[in-house]
Amino acid sequence: MSLNQNSLVFQASGAPKLNSSSAHILKSYFVFMINNINYAVPISSVIGVYKMDRLSSLPSGPKLLKTEQKTSSAVYLLGISVICEQALPIVSFRQTGAEPIHFEKTGLVLVLENGIDRFGLLIDKAKGIYEIPIRIIDSFAKSPSATNLFPTYTAGVWEDGGAPIWFLNPEKMVWAEDSRPDSGGENNGA
């Protein structure tokens, strides 16, 4: 697959600075949509959003992301694509039970880095950067109602104008040793 088939849509280096003079300490999150559901990841884990024309290879069998001590049934490997001059695994959150199983093999890919791996997450829409008060995130983490649907969720939901945003934690998303996809080369990092 040639590199020009994937074009950059958003790059994290253009993120706005945190407003330290605010009465509330803010943290930057990148907000995106999958199946009309809002999700957010810390901007520090975002490499960029790319338009992907197609997958360059498909997995030989089911490959799952391991989340901490158990495997998440919510994250599926769709295939490999060359993005950021690297062959990256592309994953999907679409098979969670509440969402349609159908997915497109083209579209927007959010490239994330969690300190161990880089991978792409197939998304429907990039909404942009939101500055969210840290006290809101902390209150979710301490709330007894912050039971996670899947271990990849940090905790809770933030209502922004009536639209809930689910927070994801890419640092908890790592490949199980027996499920690491063959990306055709080593992860060279940034």
Q: Which domains does the chain have, with CATH numbers?
A: 3-179 (2.40.50.180)
Mean pLDDT over the full length of the chain: 64
- How far apart are the C-alpha atoms of 112 and 45, rounded to whole Å? 5
The pTM for the full model equals 0.66
Q: In sequence order, which residues have a C-beta less than 8 Å from that of residue 66 and are 6 or more positions away?
A: 72, 174, 175, 176, 179
Predicted local distance difference test score (pLDDT) of residue 155: 42
Q: Is the confidence at residue 53, as pLDDT, over 60?
A: yes
Predicted local distance difference test score (pLDDT) of residue 94: 64
Q: Tell me which of 148 and 36 has the higher pLDDT.
A: 36
Selection from 7-16, 21-30, 134-143 with the highest mean pLDDT:
21-30
Q: In sequence order, which residues have a C-beta less than 8 Å from that of residue 38 and are 6 or more positions away?
A: 31, 32, 127, 160, 163, 164, 165, 166
Q: 20: pLDDT confidence band, cut at 50, 70 and 90?
A: very low
Predicted local distance difference test score (pLDDT) of residue 131: 80
Predicted local distance difference test score (pLDDT) of residue 6: 55
- How far apart are the C-alpha atoms of 16 and 155, rounded to whole Å? 24
Q: 47: pLDDT confidence band, cut at 50, 70 and 90?
A: very high
Q: 158: pLDDT confidence band, cut at 50, 70 and 90?
A: low
Half-sphere exposure of 97 (CA within 13 A, CB side): 5
Q: Tell me which of 18 and 116 has the higher pLDDT.
A: 116
The residues with which 50 forms a beta bridge, in sequence order, are 8, 109
Q: Tell me which of 68 and 8 has the higher pLDDT.
A: 8
Selection from 7-16, 67-76, 112-121, 168-177 with the highest mean pLDDT:
112-121
